[in-house]
Structure 1
Amino acid sequence: MIKKIKDEFSISDLWVSSNERTSDFYLMSWQRGDSAIPMFVVRLLLSSVSVGILIWSLVVGASPYWMIYLTNWGLLLITLLTLSGLLTSCFALCKKIPDGSDLPWYVSIYWLTYNITISIAIMITGLYWILLFSPALAAEQTAGAFWLDVTTHGFNSCLAFVELVLSRTPLRFLHIYQPLGVGVWYAAFSAIYYVAGGTDGMNNPFIYEVLDWRQADRAGVIVAISGASLFILYTVLCLLCLARDKLSVKLIRTTSLNLPLTPPDQHTPPGVV
């Protein structure tokens, strides 16, 4: 029994270095054939939008505090996801990426970013609209600032969701530690930033009011609830990927062969019907 489990599971499965089919990383779920063009076009559009949003955020909201916010970490992650995906599709167009036990470095970077970004982007959207959004403060914003907030806390998860639904990239439950690790990393960063005397752009001794480490118990509860929510979200996304693959294989990724209705009888004399 133990030997069977060892045969089915290896330490390499915990990392992003191997997969049964390399084509999973550059083919679209909802296509026939093995052309890399459909997913290349999708990723070209996604990367253009993500880079545009990132530039917009840097131009409008650039400040010494830009990097302390989880929202902007999410912007960098979604930009890295779309660009690494585009790079993978470009390599697939230029040359056939062979199947094998070891994935090319650019595919591993894309897969790692994919595992982290898909759930983190959706979490950022949920946390903002549930915990941080204030209609009163939104009414005081300029139109540009309001729409930038909507874009950075809404479009980020939309881009991630499109990549999830249209691609064939697997989302393995074993990789759940990757987005959870980023979440823990940010929580630790916010605590260290507070201890070091860091402030937000309005000189408050916290990055987000709901994550105010002067009230460590409340901040700890927020971190714990967020971690549990991320665990649940990642599980749901894994199931969604499984449903995506099952449905696309059943409805789209099928082959039909044009076979003759009845093969000719080799014993029938020529000219006889």
Structure 2
Amino acid sequence: MLRFWKKQFQLSKFYLIHNDPGVFIASQWQKNKTEPNFKYLMYRTAIMLIFFVTWIMTIIKEAENNGLWPIFLTNWGYTACTLQATLAFIMLFTTFIGSTLDMPQMKEHILWLYPLYWLLNIVATATAFAITTVYWTTIYNAKTMVFDALNYFVHGNNSILVFIDLWIVAHPVMPFHVVYSIIFGIIYSVFTFIYYSAGGRGKEGTLCIYKIVDWDRPGLTVGVCLGVIAFLIVIHFLMVLISLVRRNLQEKCCSKKLDITMMQTKKDAAYVNEAMSADIV
């Protein structure tokens, strides 16, 4: 692991470039990562459909609230989750079709999308955990807010799905890619200030989008924004840790299976030799 961290302190590690784009359409746990896996395709299809259907439902529901859907961080984060899930599905599905039709060029062409997917995946995963934590600890009020299925999906199930995904995918989470989550946090913070300055209103006609982001109290609000960005940084490095643990677990499992296979092969060879010796005698 120390060797891993030493390799990260290079300028190139900031870039969304990987020497094996195939890892973005593979699961850590599939045996052959050079070919598309049908079970993994079914998994990616399910994740995409869950995000996409519920994302559409959020737009329909917020249409009843004077078109305020675009101002909420929840919807920014959920859009990122939906886009990355959709891109992951498109890349794998296209590769699967190309493999079935014996058209390998389809895989080469579609994998041009992997840097965009990687970027969205990084931001969406960190933001999902942050949204879930901040919403349930500081924003949700059981007396004034309704807890329904959609509320669960966008503020709870989002984190569950991306957490599961962290343990399933094969692509890594790079330490210096934390810069993209930081940029996302800064962009939304600046947006809330511009929206406030332009006279924008929240869902109930308030001057702030969220009660904890009130630019009438700039000092406190700046502190909140910086705190959330710091939280995104912590989350990102936890994602890096999970990525490393996932890879190490898979390597250990594979090595154990390989050892068992080799032992069985040796036993079979011994039985054959013993049988041959008996025949000779």
State the TM bucket, normalised to the shorter chain: 0.7 to 0.9
Distance 2:50 2:18 in 1: 30
> Does 1:68 pair with 2:91?
no
Give yes or no for contact 1:39–1:167 (8 Å, CA) kept in 2: no
Pair 8,28 (structure 1): closer, same or farther in 2 beyond 3 Å: closer
- What is the CA-CA distance between 1:165 and the residue it aligns to? 1.2
Alignment partners' CA distance in 1, 2:90 and 2:225: 34
- Please list the CA deviations of residues 21-43 of structure 1 after superposition, one character each: whole Å capped at 9, or x if unmatched: 33321221223233422221111
Partner of 2:269: 261
Task: Indicate conservation of the 8 Å contact 2:62/2:68, yes or no.
Answer: no
Moved over 2 A (4+): 6-13, 30-36, 94-98, 252-265
Q: What is the alpha-carbon distance in structure 1 between the residues aligned to residue 127 and residue 178 of structure 2?
A: 11
Aligned residue in 2 for 1:80 = 83
* CA deviation profile, 1:91-131 (whole Å, cap 9, x unmatched): 33134679xxxx93211111111111111111111110011
Which letter does structure 2 place at the counterpart of 1:117? Answer: A
Shift of 1:252: 4.4
Matches within 5 A, 1:1-273: 11-19=11-19, 21-34=20-33, 35-62=36-63, 63-95=66-98, 104-138=111-145, 141=146, 146-252=148-254, 255=258, 256=261, 258=265, 261=269, 272=280
Aligned residues: 257
Gaps of 5+ in 2: 1-5, 274-278
How many angstroms apart in 2 are the aligned matches of 1:45 and 1:228? Answer: 32
| C-alpha spacing 1:172/1:211, structure 2 compared with 1 (3 Å) | same
Displacement, 1:200?
Answer: 1.2
Residues 17, 108 of structure 1: 8 Å contact kept: yes
CA 239–9 in structure 1, closer or farther in 2 if over 3 Å, else same: closer
The aligned residue for residue 3 of structure 1 is: none
Q: TM-score, normalised by structure 2?
A: 0.82
Q: Quote how far apart the aligned CAs of 1:59 are.
A: 1.7
Shift, 1:263, TM fit: 11
CA contact (8 A) 1:66 1:72 kept: yes
Q: Structure 1: which 5+ residue stretches go unaligned?
A: 1-5, 266-270
Q: Cα distance, 1:65 vs. partner?
A: 0.9
Question: Identity over aligned residues, as a percent?
Answer: 23
One-letter amino acid of the structure 1 residue matched with residue 92 of structure 2: S
Residue 175 of structure 1 and its aligned partner are, at CA, apart by: 0.4
2:170 is paired with a residue whose SS is coil
Deviation at residue 8 of structure 1 after TM alignment: 7.8
Provide closer, same or farther for how the CA distance between residues 225 and 10 of structure 1 changes in structure 2, counting only shifts above 3 A: closer
Residue of structure 2 in register with 1:268 after alignment:
none
Amino acid at match of 2:67: P
Relative to 1, partners in 2 of residues 1:7 and 1:191: Cα closer, same or farther, differing over 3 Å?
closer
RMSD: 2.9
What is the TM-score with the length of structure 1 in the denominator? 0.84
